[in-house]
Structure 1
Amino acid sequence: MNPNNTLYKRKLYDPGAPNASTGIINGESSNVLNWDDTRYSWAYPMYKNMLANFWTPFEINMTTDVKQYAELPGHEQEAFNKIIGLLAFLDSIQTDYSQKVAQYLTDSSLSALMTVLSFQEVVHNQSYSYVLSSVTDKKKQDEIFEYWKHDPVLRERNDFIAEGYEAFLNAPSPKTFMESIVYDVVLEGLNFYSGFSFFYNLARNGKMVSTSTMINYINRDEQLHVNLFARIFREILHEYPELDSRETREFVQKTFVRAAELEIGWARHLFKEPIEGIVLEDLENYIRFMANKRVNELGVERPFEGYRKNPMKWIKIYEDVNSGKTDFFEQKSRQYTKVGADNGFDDL
């Protein structure tokens, strides 16, 4: 199979094709979803895991965070705002990208997984609005959601991802599809993590714990998303052996090296004024460590020599995605109670 051939969208239905697809892309499929008759044995367990993570931001009481936000030092408040603005941008384009990916996945079970993923990205985006509507006024919210357009450092790193996606959308082929997945793993598996570390650091200092709880839920979702896209990447290499090449491995490594450089540049820009509890050198090494981890998950040799151990060991307990909703925050005394759409404002 030629990896540069046209990539075709999945048919709405095909009575002459089997329910279990004949290929991950450009295959044949009836498009009828039968979870007991799918091409990939890992699809249904992943579906159940994604459903088990279900949550909404309305579950989280923001009362204490509202009070603490106003008391954050100016540079911490600015970092908080900019990171929320960044995450809103990333999850917005991710929602659209994942929906477009779903159109080309032949197997109906993978299309279903991508639909769940897209829904979760919408929930993530709504959670950022929920946080901001709790702690700021509408004028400030609008300003924060415009950051990605005007901050040159942020714009450069965001353009890097968007251009990787657009190369696939403008000329869909097995090769550009595969390459766009690498950018996806950068977005979901690397670009979030310096921002996540900021919120987790606030939490371990007893600040903005409810926001950090929400970030932990998002983190758990993103881990599953990375796993899904990494599996799709490896299946494409299996079904298109021409793509399982040194050129592809070098592309993955170079993409992650550049992504790590941009992420480190963003961290230096974001934390020009030191943040209590975050050592910038450790954060930079953590970014290289995460880049190595993601490249390895794609089945490619790590691009950074060394960086095999997490230099920010304290973050592990916050990132743990294997404990369901009994996460770190729920094991501590914290301000987490299920509330309605009023954000808990009746308690102010």
Structure 2
Amino acid sequence: MSQCCGGGGEKPYDLSKRINVEDKRLLNCKAVDVNQLWPLKYEWAWEHYLNGCANNWMPSEVPMQKDISLWHSPDGLTDAERLVIMRNLGFFSTGESLVGNNIVLAIFEHITNPEARQYLLRQAYEEAVHTHAFHYIVESLGLDGREVFNMYHEVDSIRGKDEFVMSLTEAIMRPGFTTETVEGIQEFIKNLVGFYVIMEGIFFYSGFVMILSFHRQNRMTGIGEQFQYILRDETVHLNFGIDLINTIKEENPEAWTPELRREIVEMIRKAVEFEIAYAKACLPEGVLGLNADLFREYVGYIADRRLRRIGLPAQYRSRNPFPWMSETMDLTKEKNFFETRVTEYQSAGSLIWD
């Protein structure tokens, strides 16, 4: 019997159109309908989606009164401390937008698996929330929004990072680009490495350390709370991106050539130099117990972690000068934020900090 009937006189289901789960590949899917979610092929993609949903939050739910008072107090922050905050707002305000645009304009079209697309939709929403957070901070502190959101044009160390990552989108955005060739898959992998491993997995993490150093001292706590939320979101983004890259490698081994591996190692080494230059620009004289030498060590440490997770050799053998960052990730959200409505992280304890 090849057909089964629905109730109420509906047309019978055509079982020949049912999707074979093995055909639901990430790239160049052979399934008839890319929109059919069930049955799942990649449980990890759905798990990341559920983790993202459990982490839901909105910037306007975080109180900013203490930050406003400290920012406008004549004795509240030094010029060096203000520079750290302003440079990070300038980088993140555009960086988050670039990641969101890359998902919508470059990645989504070529991912042909529905549960992976489901996660990408969730991530794009979260990138919009993060950009909203920087607007909320700027507005709350009474900053010049044009100065903050235009900083990627005017500060060399920020412009260098953004241009480096954006260059990895150019090939994918060309008319006629396809992942049906080995060369196309390789370009796609480089884009994924650029945005998930480099932008979200390396470039963002120095900024997290800088801002959360204020938060550890119970200063600029509103910004700090929002960066904690963003850090938790980014951890899920990173884990999804690593799984995405590794699965594409497994399904397309002909694309993971020695030449591509060498090229990706060189990309990450170049990214580390961009990030060290950024740390120097944010901390020209050191502040909060932080300095550029510590960040050179830290960036090398996290770069090695990223390299190993996509099957590439470590390059720096650095130690982690900020072990408290893992403690920050391990904390569950139990306080009520002064009776505000911030949603607690339901599954933060299950996330893998990286």
TM over 0.5: yes
Highest RCO, 1 vs 2 (Cα 8 Å, sep ≥ 6): 1
Residue 336 (structure 1) shift: 4.5
Conserved 8 A contact 1:210-1:335: no
Shift of 1:323: 4.7
Shift of 1:263: 0.2
Amino acid at match of 1:103: E
Q: Give the structure 2 partner of residue 98 of structure 1.
A: 103
Question: Is 1:212 matched up with 2:224?
Answer: yes
- Counterparts of 1:335 and 1:110 in 2: how far apart (Å)? 33
> Per-residue deviation at 1:316?
2.5
1:31 to 34, 37, 61: 34
Shift of 1:19: 6.6
Pairing of 1:40-189 with structure 2 (within 5 A): 40-70=42-72, 71-100=76-105, 101-137=107-143, 140-170=144-174, 171-172=177-178, 173-184=184-195, 185-189=197-201
Shift of 1:17: 6.8
Letter in 1 for 2:80: H
Deviations 1:55-80 (A, max 9, x none): 11121110001111222112211221
The residue number in structure 1 matching 2:352 is none
Shift of the 280–233 alpha-carbon distance from structure 1 to 2, 3 Å rule, reads same
SS in 2 for 1:249: helix
- Is residue 260–residue 287 contact of structure 1 (8 Å, CA) maintained in 2? yes
Residue 16 of structure 1, CA deviation: 4.8
* Secondary structure class of the residue paired with 1:42: helix
User: Structure 2: which amino acid aligns with 1:145?
Assistant: F
Q: What is the TM-score normalised by the length of structure 1?
A: 0.85
From 235, 242, 245, the equivalent of 1:230 is 242
Deviates more, 1:268-277 or 1:107-116: 268-277
Distance 2:49 2:86 in 1: 33
SS in 1 for 2:229: helix
The secondary structure found in structure 2 opposite 1:192 is helix
Cα gap change, 1:297/1:337 in structure 2, threshold over 3 Å: closer, same or farther? farther
Counterparts of 1:18 and 1:324 in 2: how far apart (Å)? 40
Among 246, 249, 267, the alignment partner of 2:261 is: 249
* Rounded Cα–Cα distance in structure 2 between residues aligned with 1:129 and 1:219: 17
Q: Distance in 2 between matches of 1:252 and 1:303?
A: 12
Paired with 1:303 and 1:336, the residues of 2 have a C-alpha distance of: 45
1:191 equivalent in structure 2: 203
Q: Displacement, 1:335?
A: 6.0
| Aligned residue runs from structure 1 range 270-309, under 5 A | 270-304=282-316, 306-307=317-318, 309=319
TM-score (norm 2): 0.83
* Counterpart AA for 2:233: D
Cα offsets for 1:168-221 (capped at 9, x unmatched): 222442111111011012000010111111111111222101211110110011
Q: Deviations over 1:28-73 (max 9, x none)?
A: 23123334x0221222222211111111112111000111122211
3-state SS in 1 of match to 2:110? coil
Asked if the contact 1:181/1:233 (under 8 Å) is kept, the reply is yes
Aligned equivalents of 1:17 and 1:92: distance in 2? 38
Q: Is the 8 A contact 2:284 2:292 kept in 1?
A: no
Offset from partner CA, 1:105-160 (integer Å, 9 cap, x none): 111111111000000000000001111111124xx122111111111222112110
CA spacing shift, 1:34–1:156, aligned 2, 3 Å? closer
Which of 322, 337, 349 lines up with 1:312 in the alignment? 322
Question: 2-side partners of 1:336 and 1:289: how far apart?
Answer: 36
Distance 1:166 1:16, change over 3 A: farther
CA contact (8 A) 1:60 1:337 kept: no
Identity, % of aligned positions: 23
State which structure, 1 or 2, has the greater radius of gyration over its C-alpha atoms: 2
Is the CA contact (8 Å cut-off) linking 1:61 and 1:337 kept in structure 2?
A: no
> How many pairs are equivalent?
313
**Letter of the aligned partner of 2:247 in structure 1?**
E
